[in-house]
Structure 1
Amino acid sequence: MSAEFDISDLKRRMQGAIATLKHELGGLRTGRATASLLEPVHVDAYGQSLPLNQVATISVAEARMLSVQVWDKGMVGPVDKAIRDSNLGLSPTVEGQILRIRIPELNEQRRKEMAKVAHKYAEEAKVAVRHVRRDGIDTLKKLLKDKAIGEDDEKRHAAEIQKVTDQFVGEVDQALAAKEKEIMQV
């Protein structure tokens, strides 16, 4: 009588929410140089908009400095313009085919704004995890209604879904706490 309920799909979907959160948090500027800081930058190159990492190599030169090695000499100007226009508050210094970008320290107000953005991302991830939980519970209710599983199985699987949900919400909280610590570090 008992049909199998597969929780691995729910775990995979919840893991996707965590991965998205980590990607979004990685793009937040913290005053420390990271190559992922320039991920959102797109360059108008060769008649199309390309991500910066497809026209240049981005590396961390120092704790507060990024180095962008442009592969094509003709692209130095467009890369410089794209970085300046990216709303990241960065202004590169051009040295031949290399752009050096000093990452300014964040003031207290900007740190708090970044922390709020991080909280927003974390809340979105929690909502995504909860949506996956709701989908799982709905599936269980449908299986119960169709008499594919019994009430005991439904309750057991629901408890399992809740346990997994709590685990992933905990991961969201951990990622947020780590990012917040990084943002507030002077």
Structure 2
Amino acid sequence: RLRPHWSVTWAVPVDEAGAPLHPRTAPVVHAPTPTDEPLGIPALLIASLPLDTARRHPAPGPLTDFLVERAADAYAELLGSWRPVSTGTIDLVPGPLGKGGLDGALRGAILARLPRVAFLEPAAPRDPEAENGWGDDWDRDRDRTEETTAALRPVEAEVVEGVGAETVRVLAEVLPSLLPAGLERRT
């Protein structure tokens, strides 16, 4: 109560290629030390959540609600800035059912933000500047990054069911918002 600040940190281990891995720590909320509050999101949450008197679970209240929203903002930002953009990033999307009250609130807040966050790998590399007519603008070209695969937002992504990778590759030439083959079967 005497601290005038708060903090929220998400940590995700990665493999050699930069793809996300599940944390090897206990799947609980860290506030900042491990609590007994279950966390089913595939990342480690370290936050300055207020704890109950037993210091085992976050205390309900407006500060916890506020920090859940900030944690959801930070998680959405994490997915949006994830590089390299790959199909492995989908593994970081939490499912709809929480393992506890706080986990459920976090999932709901995260899932509400993700449709507007660009983190999905397209089936074919795309250049959003060329799509928007910026291809000949010299000033814009100076500021370009090396990355050529722009991520898709879920609200703009499309999936073709029941076709193979070769069909998706051909269709991706005319449908730039197409996701790679096989993602419709992932759980």
Whether TM-score is above 0.5 comes out as no
Structure with higher strand content: 1
Structure with higher helix content: 1
TM-score normalised per structure 1: 0.25
TM-score normalised per structure 2: 0.25
Higher alpha-carbon Rg: 1
Work out which structure has the larger RCO, using CA pairs closer than 8 Å and 6 or more positions apart in sequence.
1
